[in-house]
Chains A and B, each alone.
Chain A
Amino acid sequence: MTDTHSTGPFIAAIDQGTTSSRCIVFDRDGRIVSVDQKEHEQIFPKPGWVEHNATEIWENVQEVVAGAISKAKITSADVKAIGITNQRETTLLWDKNTGEPVHNAIVWQDTRTDALCRELGRNVGQDRFRRETGLPLASYFAGPKIRWLLDNVEGLRERAEAGEILFGTMDSWVIWNLTGGPNGGVHVTDVTNASRTLLMNLHNLDWDERILSSMEIPAAVLPEIRSSAEVYGTTADGVLAGVPVASALGDQQAALFGQTCFSEGEAKSTYGTGTFLLMNTGDKPVNSYNGLLTTVGYRIGDQKPVYALEGSIAVTGSLVQWMRDQMGLINSAAEIETLASSVEDNGGAYFVPAFSGLFAPYWRDDARGVIAGLTRYVTKAHIARAVLEATAWQTREIVDAMTKDSGVELTALKVDGGMTSNNLLMQTLSDVLDAPVVRPMVAETTCLGAAYAAGLAVGFWPDTDALRANWRRAAEWTPRMDADVRDREYKNWLKAVQRTMGWIEDEE
């Protein structure tokens, strides 16, 4: 840690992510004082299934909180509030009286509810609940995962109906445990996380009874839906005992907040395991006709909710991990840039990583990954280049959809997340978007957003204008690609995408 920090007070943010849990302590300028992080196990019981052990996650959260506080050399008295952000949609049911999970959490990437979702679509199809929820019926979201647990865990439905079982995404699980668990823990979720369940009505921000009954989910399991920035309760024990828990935001919405996209038309794109581009659409939910999601951006206390359009890409950083772990072509994620930089172009190869179908803008469960355009000429370096280009072209597709749905032309793209340390990728992104790409000075925008929301809730920061003043440009990439090259490459990419579709035929 640097020694040049003010003496506090501070805000702590917990980021319960897909691969790890982190805690970061921020000072009033939004500067990082300390970080602690711990990975948890990824459990793959069957192809397409992904689970987490929620008990392990809660232990890790406690550990990283203690770690970050001790690295910052501060005590609970210096911490004004705790903010929570989390991997979205990952679904857990637990026993209200013992605090024991009834099953591992089912992770957002898990595809076990594919068939269930088709069945729930009945004769209407994927868009059956889109008008109410803003979402297509897809295995990505929480509602069908709850239903699967109720159907498949012995005796669970009866216990749920008797009011003994609680449902939550990771925000609810962490807040419930922080505030006392079985001894008075508060059972809440925030609007952004609730908007990813397929169970919340976007217009009144309440659970939708008609959908609950179609999905056969008892209302007794559901948490109370609260705003993203308010005091839900106080920490019961541990190093931060007595500190208010004052925000909750899904990780992508937290990044939108951390990037201070507070005005209509402002957008950010986060490059982690997957990539998620969110655009603030103000106080109105905008319907998408181009494969985007309509979701809640955030809601501060009793102010009006702010909505967002979202383009979700399932596989970006995880494709780089796949190149490292499954293919063994690189030793670290960063090395993909070294390998890719050893050639001038993709050598004619295009890599569409539809590992678990395609998310936005296609929402195709039947797609699978493809490397197209192979010849004897293609080397592993060309493939590395195609891997990075895949992230860029997928972004281009959701940006195009965003322009069509919102009518807002993108003037610059604000980016964050682990992949933004890849200079070649950021340049490629700017080239294929034909727009500047801008990285802010705090790459950890997810935690920063949760900290900002918590800080607003307790008056640590006065208003969003004060937060906006903290935003600083750390780097900017500008387009260098010729228009005819861009057009040709985009056409080739779209051709490759077509070749992924229809690979999986209805198994039943």
Chain B
Amino acid sequence: MARTIQSLERAAAMLRLLAGGERRLGLSDIASSLGLAKGTAHGILRTLQQEGFVEQDEASGRYQLGAELLRLGNSYLDVHELRARALVWTDDLARSSGESVYLGVLHQQGVLIVHHVFRPDDSRQVLEVGAMQPLHSTALGKVLSAYDPVAHSEAAEAAREAFTPRTVTSMAGFESVLDLTRARGWGSDVEETWEGVASIAAPIHNRRRMPVGAVGVTGAVERVCKEGELRSDLVAAVRDCARAVSRDLGASRF
């Protein structure tokens, strides 16, 4: 068995102790229940307190479980909530960019499209909510892989299929794409998934700065790019939209 870290085991034991039976305990009760010296117990409690996992009652000096533990359990963001919060901003992005807008989250080994706004011309389009896109080649997928470690490991383990001659399939190549994505704060896909199609995407963060999804525009390569480069006004509009949604989810300014 691998070596374990004693102070983490002790911290876990403390949390269990505070979770069961009597909810508020004094330092000496905690120390004696766990067979620890008071000084050792105090050091661990103080660390847990700093992390918000334990709170100390001011009047009695007794310890109890902290609010952060509750938040940990409830931090999952409902995808339908995400769509509802994004609605106004994604509509506006479609309007200002003239392209279709997609909102995606990680689901199993790919990107699940949870919201789709049509391109604002009068053409017939089909709602793609519920469709899956690949992680390694799409702008949404690259953004998720760059910011969400779970998405990253899914993409790293998957067989990265070459959809077009431009798809990046090697691990090293993929990693450098992700580095670039993180460095500039947005991701792109120029004919790496579909011939003739380009997209730009940016990350959405929740109030604890965790990546919860990605939003982007997709359109014909000749509209999304200008003189061989992705249009900077589109990049700015996509990033604005991602920031506005993040702000609505309570993320602080960044």
A35 to B80, CA, bound (A): 22
Q: Which of A304-312, A473-481, A491-499 contacts B (4 or more CB under 8 A)?
A: A473-481
Query: Which chain A residues border B81 with CB–CB below 8 Å?
Result: 332, 334-335
A2 at the interface (CB under 8 A from B): yes
Contacts of A410-455 to chain B: CB distance below 8 A: 418, 421-423, 441-444
Q: Does A3 contact B236, Cβ atoms closer than 8 Å?
A: yes
Q: Does A338 contact B79, Cβ atoms closer than 8 Å?
A: yes
Q: Does A441 contact B96, Cβ atoms closer than 8 Å?
A: no
Q: Contacts A3-B240, A332-B81 given; indicate if A35 touches B127 (C-beta within 8 A).
A: no
Q: Does A1 contact B91, Cβ atoms closer than 8 Å?
A: no
Q: Does A476 contact B127, Cβ atoms closer than 8 Å?
A: yes
B19 at the interface (CB under 8 A from A): no
CB distance from B209 to the nearest CB of A (A): 21
B 217-241 to A, binary, CB cutoff 8 A, 1 in contact else 0? 0000000000000000100110011
Q: Contacts A332-B81, A421-B87, A441-B95 given; indicate if A2 touches B240 (C-beta within 8 A).
A: yes
B244 at the interface (CB under 8 A from A): yes
Query: Which chain B residues border A418 with CB–CB below 8 Å?
Result: 84
Q: Does B237 contact A4, Cβ atoms closer than 8 Å?
A: yes
A361 to B120, CA, bound (A): 36
B 52-96 to A, binary, CB cutoff 8 A, 1 in contact else 0? 000000000000000000000000001111011001100111111
Q: Contacts A421-B87, A443-B91 given; indicate if A474 touches B236 (C-beta within 8 A).
A: no
Q: Does A441 contact B80, Cβ atoms closer than 8 Å?
A: no
Q: Does B80 contact A335, Cβ atoms closer than 8 Å?
A: yes
Of B88, B115, B233, B236, which is within 8 A of A35 by CB?
Answer: B88
Q: Does A441 contact B79, Cβ atoms closer than 8 Å?
A: no
Contacts of A1-26 to chain B: CB distance below 8 A: 1-4
Query: Which chain B residues border A338 with CB–CB below 8 Å?
Result: 78-80
B34 at the interface (CB under 8 A from A): no
Chain A residue nearest in CB terms to B247: A1
Q: Does A441 contact B233, Cβ atoms closer than 8 Å?
A: no
A3 to B244, CA, bound (A): 11
Q: Contacts A4-B240, A338-B79, A441-B120 given; indicate if A474 touches B84 (C-beta within 8 A).
A: no
Instruction: Specify the main secondary structure of chain A where it touches its partner.
Output: loop
CB distance from A430 to the nearest CB of B (A): 10
A 394-406 to B, binary, CB cutoff 8 A, 1 in contact else 0? 0000000000000
Query: Which chain A residues border B93 with CB–CB below 8 Å?
Result: 2
Q: Does A2 contact B96, Cβ atoms closer than 8 Å?
A: yes
A35 to B87, CA, bound (A): 13
Query: Which chain B residues border A4 with CB–CB below 8 Å?
Result: 96, 233, 236-237, 240
CB distance from A282 to the nearest CB of B (A): 25
A422 to B80, CA, bound (A): 7
Chain B residue nearest in CB terms to A420: B87
A31 at the interface (CB under 8 A from B): yes
Interface size on A, residues (CB 8 A): 29
Chain B residue nearest in CB terms to A443: B87
A443 to B125, CA, bound (A): 19
CB distance from A32 to the nearest CB of B (A): 6
Q: Contacts A335-B78, A441-B117 given; indicate if A477 touches B127 (C-beta within 8 A).
A: yes
Contacts of A214-234 to chain B: CB distance below 8 A: none
CB distance from A209 to the nearest CB of B (A): 46
Q: Does A475 contact B118, Cβ atoms closer than 8 Å?
A: yes
A489 at the interface (CB under 8 A from B): no
CB distance from B117 to the nearest CB of A (A): 5
A476 to B129, CA, bound (A): 11
Query: Which chain A residues border B122 with CB–CB below 8 Å?
Result: 473
Query: Which chain A residues border B115 with CB–CB below 8 Å?
Result: 423
A337 at the interface (CB under 8 A from B): yes
Of A334, A444, A472, A476, which is within 8 A of B83 by CB?
Answer: A334
Query: Which chain A residues border B205 with CB–CB below 8 Å?
Result: none
A 462-474 to B, binary, CB cutoff 8 A, 1 in contact else 0? 0000000000111
Q: Does B237 contact A2, Cβ atoms closer than 8 Å?
A: yes
Chain B residue nearest in CB terms to A424: B80
Chain B residue nearest in CB terms to A337: B80
Q: Contacts A2-B96, A472-B120, A473-B122 given; indicate if A423 touches B129 (C-beta within 8 A).
A: yes
Q: Contacts A4-B96, A475-B127 given; indicate if A334 touches B84 (C-beta within 8 A).
A: yes
Of A1, A337, A441, A442, which is within 8 A of B244 by CB?
Answer: A1
Query: Which chain A residues border B127 with CB–CB below 8 Å?
Result: 475-477
Of A3, A334, A472, A474, which is within 8 A of B78 by CB?
Answer: A334
Query: Which chain B residues border A442 with CB–CB below 8 Å?
Result: 91
A 366-394 to B, binary, CB cutoff 8 A, 1 in contact else 0? 00000000000000000000000000000
Chain A residue nearest in CB terms to B125: A476
A 327-341 to B, binary, CB cutoff 8 A, 1 in contact else 0? 000011111011000
CB distance from B155 to the nearest CB of A (A): 25
Q: Does A441 contact B91, Cβ atoms closer than 8 Å?
A: yes
Query: Which chain A residues border B152 with CB–CB below 8 Å?
Result: none
CB distance from B198 to the nearest CB of A (A): 19
A29 to B120, CA, bound (A): 13
Q: Contacts A423-B129, A475-B116 given; indicate if A31 touches B92 (C-beta within 8 A).
A: yes
Given A332-B78, A421-B87, A477-B127, output 10 extra A-B contacts at Cβ < 8 Å.
A4-B236, A4-B240, A333-B84, A334-B84, A418-B84, A423-B129, A441-B94, A473-B120, A473-B122, A475-B116
**Cβ-closest 7 pairs across A and B:** A334-B80, A472-B120, A421-B84, A334-B81, A337-B80, A2-B240, A334-B84
Give 15 A-B contacts (CB < 8 Å), ordered by A residue.
A1-B240, A2-B93, A2-B96, A3-B236, A4-B96, A4-B233, A31-B96, A331-B78, A334-B83, A335-B81, A338-B78, A421-B87, A474-B117, A474-B118, A475-B116
